[in-house]
Structure 1
Amino acid sequence: MKQYGNVYLIAAISIIGGGLFGFDISSMSAIIAGQGYLCYFNQGPKPCSGPSANTQGGITASMAGGSWLASLFSGFLSDALGRKKTIMVGAVIWVVGCIIVCSAQNIPQLIVGRIINGLCVGICSAQVPVYIAELAPPTKRGRLIGAQQWAITWGIMIMFYISYGSSFINGPAAFRVPWALQMIPAIVLFFGMMILPESPRWLASKDRWEECEQVLVLVHGHGDPHSPWVAREFREIKEWLEIERQSKQISYLTLFTPRYINRTHIGLFTQIWSQLTGMNVMMYYITYVFTMANIQGNNLLVSSSIQYVINVVMTIPALIWIDRIGRRPTLLVGAALMATWLFINAGILGGMGVYQPEGVHNIKEAKVLVTGAASKVVIACSYLFVASYAPTWGPVSWIYPPELYPNQLRGKAVAFATSGNWAFNFALGYFVPPAFENITWKTYVVFGVFCVAMFIHVYFMFPETAGKPLEEVNEMFETPPPGGLKYIGTPAWKTKNYYSTSARMEHGELLEKRLDDEQSPERKESA
């Protein structure tokens, strides 16, 4: 079958795997407030009161539980089968999960189906960024990997409106129809991946050098086998692979050796902090938040949907400028802005809210009611929060981890980092409904404090990786300048973005000189 090497086409097809996660988020956020869902899965003493807060937390979190498990073993699967086939396996698993979910007769079956859906999301969310990172040119890498977050936002918005339209259907079909339609993008992903090439770096790790070079010619050389860029990329892959093979056998334990522990902690916390921003509150449970702002009925769903449109639109600036601006400034600005909106909402709900012991508008988890100008501030800050997350932590949390690791470790390392995302996604999905019910507005304070902590952490520990070939990022950690610590490299706040052509050429010449000068037996032994 003919394969296509256009990097934008490669990204457009593979990021559908991220879109599946988006479909799940909004299908739950729109459906959990619908009468069809509340009546069918009712556990309360009153009719159509829905599952209990703990049960709903478990239903929501079950997908993340499956994702956590799958993201861990996806590294082994990816290293064995290849990045491309692993993503295709994930697509098949998603279809199976959707069949079980849309036919759910009770809560246990619903949870089982969502766990299976989670297996797909865990695999694709870990390996799609790896696949794109290993194929994309350095100056477009951030944009192309970040497109996964854009796919998530599109999935959220499309599925929300499908769920909203289905809410006018009477009975269980109100939730069965949108859950069944989730199969369509997975089918497109499976067949679309057939026309895409395999990762050249994975092919190199299997000593399939001829195929590796063919992919580089197809993707980077645009069919020209004599392209200087292809020659340099092929040489760098070969040189670094030889160095890596001097190391012991790669396993998850390798991530915790002195050589890699710093990178492991950075990649892991990139994903953990992306969850601790509080975005889960805004996405999974936005209907609870707007209910506390005294919005109900159709107005509740329409008002909630605006944030999904904001999420899609505000991710675009990141795709355009993320490589030029860099990773560090984007993360720092995002953390500061999100902390601001979270603390304002906490202050409004805590200072002007009226406690409602029985819940607000039949939503028992919504225990505080604000009206008038205060409710408008809560809604505005919720929108501003999404507008701050969308171009910052949303895309960068997927872009950054794949850039940190050497070729042979990348699949497992990104899988481990992504497992942190899903572990905390699971915990927060379970935590938020009881949190709103028990500590009400203080839930916002918790997430605001996390945003302050992540700002400090990023400033001191997260180096800039934008504009550097993956092998150069590895060199940045392996060979620190004078004053830098071994395996930590240049202090994070002193690292630079090599986006511009002149900067990349200058840095590339220095790198080539070091590679020529430093390939001594002593260096290879230390590697």
Structure 2
Amino acid sequence: MLVGNIYVISAIAVVGGGLFGFDISSMSAQLNEQSYLCYFNQGPKGPPFTDEKCSGPHTMVQGGITASMAAGSWLGALISGILSDRLGRKYTIMIGCLIWIVGSTIICASQNIGMLIVGRVINGLAVGIESAQVPVYISELAPPSKRGRLVGVQQWAITWGILTMFYISYGCSYIGEKDFRGWKAAAWRVPWALQMIPAIFLFLGMMVLPESPRWLARKDRWEEAQSVLALVHAKGDLHHPFVALELQDIRNTCDFESQNRHVTYLDLFKPRMIHRTVVGLFMQIWSQLTGMNVMMYYITNVFAMAGYSGDANLLASSIQYIINVIMTLPALMWMDRWGRRPTLLVGATFMAIWMYANAGIMATYGTVVEGGVGNVAAQSMEVKGPPSKALIACTYLFVASYAPTWGPVSWVYPPELFPLHLRGKGVSLSTSGNWAFNTALGLFTPEAFANIKWRTYLVFGIFNTAMFFHVLFLFPETAGKTLEETEAMFEDPDGIPYIGTPAWKTRISTHKVAQMEQGHVGDLEAKAVPGSASPGVGQESGSSSEPGIGSGSGSGNGTKTKEG
């Protein structure tokens, strides 16, 4: 018996995002822990850990350890498109769970840095698969008016994963003594073993969830596709108007794309696709260049420079994880009303402000510490007194700005950009951009703090400024539109060639879609949507037919407007 409640489906599926969160805080919580620093010590006296104060891995090596997961995720995201198109969204997610269990086993059993890196690369493969395909899976099942909220739950799951694993790691830090003689490896082995639990839960949970109806349709399994749509959207009623409407949307799209059954990643770079490919890719790239994951991975280093150490550092760091969880909620509740564009623009503005503020505080009040605070080179400066509190406040405010904006939207947006036959590969390519830059930033950040110091914040402030203008001019609004309707926005014959409707002219259409979902099809068929300029579903770009709102990839929701 399959589960049909879309909220339950999303709650189970987004545990895949929780795996990413577990990895982030499992590393950030260990960076200043005695057991981790001594076991993987590369200090002056190195193994067998005879230093009076273990300094842990060298700066570049630590960057490599952190970035190894992201490097694996980059590859996982790319291969996920191929797996997803062949095996389906559901079974691809389940494969990712098995890979995560293998990687976590190697990590918690690590005997040296090499083994730790191998385990994190394997874990990364799993995270890349899950982060690319969970949003696709949910977006292809969710009703349009709730799609942003439901896909955005993935970001909320990430924040919960971060918070949960951080406190697990904090509790396990009390295993053994917190000095260079009495530490025990179990302090990091136990939390890294426990991170297998959500993967086991996700694997078992996916067994009772349906497959994506759009993937089933592409495989000509129409009866199953209709059954899934009825189960999820109409409590099993195969004859509900919205089920018929949605099925016709999918059928017309599949008919139109039947000549594109065999697609490759190169198809994403053809003239009619290049714009949305670049937008999707930069959606994920910019989400990394905000500097948020730097705050997540290396926050204990930032707070060490603000004068916090030991338990005080861990507790202060955990506050930002709590902020991250709480501040993601507004986006889940209102993202579909706010729209994607305003959310991204507001987020970029505030994040730039806090990054510039941190750069100014460090440049004005910070003092350089030779060798770094606590002999950690990445902790290259120290701020004391009121400026240190201002630094922490701006860090918290940065997290509070990211959590309801770029965090959830970065997962919601890419699946909405691509047509059905390219959605799996398009989202996997977009997500690979996330992980490629995550890898680069994992390597860059420790070295940046060690060498260019306060200017590290300045770099991210400039990135946030640049992304504001990119969104303003080139990111169209996708909120409230069916996936097929979004396709027509890019094919608008009256728009900009190869781009479609100009981004600043696109609007939210939640009210219209909500009517569809409630079965008020007759009202929609009776009148056209004011300002609609795109062809109806199943019509080729440039068709002279009137725009419509019912059954397909038109700028309405597909059913053609009645003539006359």
CA pair 247-195 structure 1, distance change in 2 beyond 3 A: closer
**Corresponding residue for 1:38?**
37
Could you tell me which residue of structure 1 aligns to residue 287 of structure 2?
Answer: 274
Match for residue 294 of structure 1? 307
**Do the aligned residues in 1 keep the contact of 2:90 with 2:206 (CA within 8 Å)?**
yes
Alignment pair present for 1:15 and 2:14: yes
Pairing of 1:370-519 with structure 2 (within 5 A): 370-481=383-494, 484-501=495-512, 509=528, 514-515=535-536, 518=539
Change in CA separation of 1:339 and 1:522 when aligned onto 2, cut-off 3 Å? closer
Partner in structure 2 of residue 352 of structure 1: 365
Q: CA–CA distance in 1 between the matches of 2:22 and 2:536? A: 46
1:151 — aligned with what?
157
Task: Give the alignment's TM-score, normalised by structure 2.
Answer: 0.90
Shift in CA distance, 520/470, structure 1 to aligned 2, threshold 3 Å: closer
SS of 1:275's equivalent in the other structure is: helix
* 1:184 alignment counterpart: 197
Q: Give, in angstroms, the shift of residue 326 of structure 1.
A: 0.3
Deviation at 1:3? 0.1
1:93: which partner in 2? 99
- In the aligned structure 2, how far is the partner of 1:438 from the partner of 1:61? 19
Instruction: Determine if the alignment matches structure 1 residue 220 to structure 2 residue 233.
Output: yes
Post-superposition offset of 1:292: 0.7
Aligned match of 2:272: 259
Deviation at 1:225, TM superposition (A): 1.2
Instruction: Measure how far apart 1:248 and its partner are.
Output: 7.1
Answer yes or no: is 1:49 the counterpart of 2:76: no
CA contact (8 A) 2:489 2:534 kept: no
C-alpha separation in 1, matches of 2:261 and 2:81: 18
**Counterparts of 1:421 and 1:517 in 2: how far apart (Å)?**
33
What displacement does 1:500 show? 1.7
Maintained 8 Å contact 1:479/1:487: no
Partner deviation per Cα, 1:241-287 (whole Å, 9 max, x = no partner): 11112347311000000110000000000000000000122100001
In 2, the alpha carbon distance for the partners of 1:305 and 1:520 equals: 51
Paired residues of 2:492 and 2:533 also in contact (CA < 8 A): no
Partner of 2:144: 138
Residue 284 of structure 1 aligns to a residue in which SS?
helix
> What do the CA deviations read for 1:189-217 (whole angstroms, capped 9, x no partner)?
00000000000000000000110001011
Give the C-alpha shift of residue 485 in structure 1.
1.4
Which stretches in structure 2 are left out of the alignment for 5+ residues? 46-50, 177-183, 517-523, 546-564
Q: Is 1:119 the equivalent of 2:130?
A: no
- Report the Cα distance in structure 2 between the residues aligned to 1:21 and 1:107, rounded to whole angstroms: 21
* Equivalent AA in structure 2 for residue 39 of structure 1: C
Cα pair 1:67 1:119 within 8 Å, conserved: yes
Structure 1 position 521, deviation (Å): 11
Instruction: Quote the RMSD (CA, aligned, Å).
Output: 2.0
Q: Secondary structure at the match of 1:394?
A: helix
Q: Distance in 1 between matches of 2:80 and 2:541?
A: 36
Task: Give the equivalent residue in structure 2 for 1:66.
Answer: 72
Q: Call closer, same or farther: CA 1:300–1:103 in 2, change over 3 Å.
A: same
Contact 1:477 1:486 in 2 (8 A): no
* Aligned AA (1:243): F
Give yes or no for contact 1:95–1:186 (8 Å, CA) kept in 2.
yes
The answer for the alignment partner of 1:327 in structure 2 is: 340
Q: Distance in 2 between matches of 1:144 and 1:376?
A: 36
Whether contact under 8 Å (1:296, 1:361) holds in the other structure is no
* Equivalent position of 2:329 in the other structure: 316
User: What whole-Å deviation, never above 9, does each CA across 1:384-407 have from its counterpart, x for those lacking one?
Assistant: 000000000000000000000111
Cα 1:96–1:516 shift into 2, 3 Å? closer
Quick one: which amino acid aligns to residue 234 of structure 1? L
Checking the alignment, whether the CA contact within 8 Å between 2:359 and 2:457 is kept in structure 1 is: yes
DSSP 3-state at the match of 1:31: coil
Q: Measure the CA separation in 2 of the matches of 1:315 and 1:517.
A: 37
Whichever residue aligns with residue 141 of structure 1, its letter is R
Structure 1 Cα separation of the partners of residues 321 and 285 of structure 2: 22
Q: Distance in 2 between matches of 1:208 and 1:34?
A: 53
Q: Distance in 2 between matches of 1:323 and 1:235?
A: 24
Gaps of 5+ in 1: none
SS of aligned partner of 1:198: coil
Quote how far apart the aligned CAs of 1:443 are: 0.3
| Cα distance in 1 between the residues matched to 2:393 and 2:208 | 44
The number of equivalent residue pairs is: 522
Distance 1:83 1:523, change over 3 A: farther
| Structure 2 residue 79 is the aligned partner of structure 1 residue 80 | no
What's the % identity of the aligned pairs? 64
Residue equivalent to 2:181: none
Match of 1:3 in 2: 2
**Structure 1 residue identity aligned to 2:380:** K
Residue in structure 1 matched with residue 247 of structure 2 by the alignment: 234
The structural deviation recorded for 1:83 is 0.1
Q: Which has the higher helix share?
A: 1
Compared CA separation, residues 519 and 428, structure 1 to 2 (3 A): closer
Q: Aligned partners of 1:277 and 1:109: how far apart in 2? A: 31
State the Cα distance separating 1:503 from its structure 2 match: 8.6
Shift of residue 518, structure 1, vs aligned partner = 4.2
Q: Which stretches of structure 1, 4 residues or longer, exceed 6 Å deviation after superposition? A: 502-505, 520-524
State the SS of the aligned residue for 1:216.
helix
Query: Aligned letter for 2:300?
Result: T
SS of equivalent residue, structure 1 residue 400? helix
